[in-house]
Amino acid sequence: MATTDAATMEKIVALCKRRGFIFQSSEIYGGLASTYDYGHYGVLLKSNVKAEWWRAVVQERDDVVALDAAILMHPMTWEASGHLEGFTDPLVQCLGKCKRRWREDHLRDAKPEGELRCPECGGELSPPRNFNLMFETHMGPVQEEGSRVYLRPETAQGIFVNFKNVLQFSRKRPPFGIAQVGKSFRNEITPQNFIFRTREFEQMEIEFFVPPADAGHWHEHWLNERMRWYTELGLRPDHLKLRPHDADELSHYSSATSDIEYEFPMGWSELEGIANRGDFDLTQHAKFSREKLEYVDSGSGERYVPHVIEPSAGADRATLAFMVDAYDEEQVEGRERVVLRLHPRLAPVKVAVLPLVNKDGQPERAREIYQDLRRRMPAEYDTGGSIGKRYRRQDEIGTPWGVTVDHQTMEDGTVTLRDRDSLEQARIAMTELGGELERRLAAPWRSPKLA
Ligand code: ATP
């Protein structure tokens, strides 16, 4: 089996378009820069990523509850959080021919010493100016000063402003967390690399509230938990690393942050940030709202403002990483096949049911099998084109199992069950198929790219 690292961003973008995972947004109008629309398989894949996140952080734990806060929030939120003042990137513009805009910090990362020049045309660059990344809009019919609101640039603040509500109704006490998945918006200066950095994206965030003295321990806990999540879902450990932030990189609120980085085709880049935010957010919101945001122990009377550990991941970035990691090419019987070796739990479709020929009762039998299977798991029934062509399509969308109905099925009720990665074909009774696939789906899985 090939274990090449064949993935390039161009190949991933092409596959996404070819198989209907992700399209350029508003394509018929020429597209809108760096915004993307998810098609059928993309929606299924990304919702599986989010479902696995919910499973790991809420379903399989006793100490995290869910929240879904509105995207539009009271504008004071952003004053309190520091975003109005400080959520900026240093923007420089080319003063030469091309006039392109760049993030100075990114240019500086690539060239730590000496004078910076425009990477496009070599022109001189303007002095940096701070550019606020929040999208503004107006609420109500009149565009006046008091009607200005912002599209949230992170989901985190929706959690902090609900701290009191959740504490009251969830019957939790620190250490406990609140988890949320939702859209965030940032007017990025240089969105790039497909869905890696876009202006509209989905985040999966947890704010985990702890007694102040325990913050270090819980930071460590979440670093380990989140690394485990990515590797259990199939990312190769040698393509993942933890990178602690240097002191000069830390955000205004953070006493320690480590990024989980993945080796994307364009190099090591952030997948998730895990920050120790101290009591910054609750203290700020208490100050601005004049609400007490603290924990009071009903037994001892002890009161404190909890410290916060924040694992903050991007659903789109994670989806991209899973696709990149799964992408493979190999020669099978003299033909090249492209295959997404996705973890079966992430695969958009778990099983494809294919009649070998379109006659002799095979399509009808295959359809019966499909109707039984799809009650158990996402399944597809496909009669279009040669069997080889249909399997190539399923390989490219990462379907882990294929069931072929052939003339023998009509005689003895058995089908062939094909494995996407090993290409092994086993003969199995139709009646055992559902149970066998459920067993395989629940079993631990190891990426075949790991030798
Ligand atoms: P970067 O340094 O890449 O701009 P960040 O440090 O500003 O990211 P955070 O504020 O820590 O990012 O956001 C948490 C997570 O949200 C990131 O790890 C990433 O997965 C996701 N994310 C942030 N910005 C974007 C974006 N523009 N497009 C897609 N995902 C994003």
Nearest-atom index, ligand 1, CA of 191: 27
**Closest C-alpha to ligand 1, atom 7:** 273
Residue 269 CA to ligand 1 centre (angstroms): 10
Q: Classify 82 as helix, strand or coil.
A: coil
Query: Which has the minimum average pLDDT: 3-12, 104-113, 353-362, 410-419?
Result: 3-12
> Higher-confidence residue: 1 or 403?
403
Residue 3: its pLDDT value, please? Answer: 45
pTM of the predicted model, to two decimals? 0.94
Query: In whole numbers, what is the pLDDT of the chain averaged over residues?
Result: 94
* AA identity, residue 369: I
Q: Is residue 440 part of a domain?
A: yes
56 and 93 together in one domain: no
Residue 244 CA to ligand 1 centre (angstroms): 16
Q: Is residue 108 part of a domain?
A: yes
Q: Is residue 144 part of a domain?
A: no
Residue 189: its pLDDT value, please? Answer: 86
Neighbours of 199 (CB within 10 A): 17
175 and 259 together in one domain: yes
**Closest C-alpha to ligand 1, atom 26:** 197
437 and 370 together in one domain: yes
Question: What are the pocket residues of ligand 1 if the criterion is a CB atom closer than 6 Å to any ligand atom?
Answer: 154, 186, 188, 197-198, 201, 203, 270-273, 312-314, 316-317
Residue 262: its pLDDT value, please? Answer: 97
186 and 46 together in one domain: yes
User: 193, 312, 320, 322: which to mutate for ligand 1, most atoms within 8 A of CB?
Assistant: 312
127 and 191 together in one domain: no
Residue 296: its pLDDT value, please? Answer: 94
406 and 316 together in one domain: no
319 and 354 together in one domain: no
User: 83, 268, 271, 317: which to mutate for ligand 1, most atoms within 8 A of CB?
Assistant: 317
Distance CA 308, CA 249 (A): 19
249 and 122 together in one domain: no
Nearest-atom index, ligand 1, CA of 314: 20
67 and 126 together in one domain: no
Task: Report pLDDT digits (tens) over 36-93.
Answer: 999 999 999 999 999 999 999 999 999 999 999 999 999 999 999 999 998 988 999 9
CATH number at residue 408: 3.40.50.800
Query: Which has the minimum average pLDDT: 130-134, 378-382, 392-396, 436-440?
Result: 130-134
366 and 438 together in one domain: yes
Residue 314 CA to ligand 1 centre (angstroms): 7
Q: Is residue 342 part of a domain?
A: no
Distance CA 236, CA 274 (A): 20
Provide the domain limits for residue 118: 89-132
Portion of the chain with pLDDT greater than 70, in percent: 99
Q: Is residue 83 part of a domain?
A: no
**Closest C-alpha to ligand 1, atom 24:** 197
Q: Is residue 416 part of a domain?
A: yes
Residue 44 CA to ligand 1 centre (angstroms): 22
93 and 36 together in one domain: no
Residue 247 burial (10 A CB sphere; 0-12, 13-18, 19+): exposed
Task: Report pLDDT digits (tens) over 363-407.
Answer: 999 999 999 999 999 999 999 889 999 999 999 999 999 999 999
Neighbours of 180 (CB within 10 A): 18
Burial 17-37 (b: 16+ CB within 10 A, else e): eebebbebbeeeeeeeebebe
Distance CA 210, CA 174 (A): 5
Residue 2: its pLDDT value, please? Answer: 42
189 and 318 together in one domain: yes
Task: Report pLDDT digits (tens) over 285-294.
Answer: 999 999 999 9
In the chain, the number of structural domains is 3
End-to-end CA distance of the chain: give it in Å, rounded.
9
Q: Is residue 139 part of a domain?
A: no
Residue 184 CA to ligand 1 centre (angstroms): 10
Q: Is residue 181 part of a domain?
A: yes
Q: Which of 341, 100, 68 is nearest to 180 (CA)?
A: 68
CATH number at residue 37: 3.30.930.10
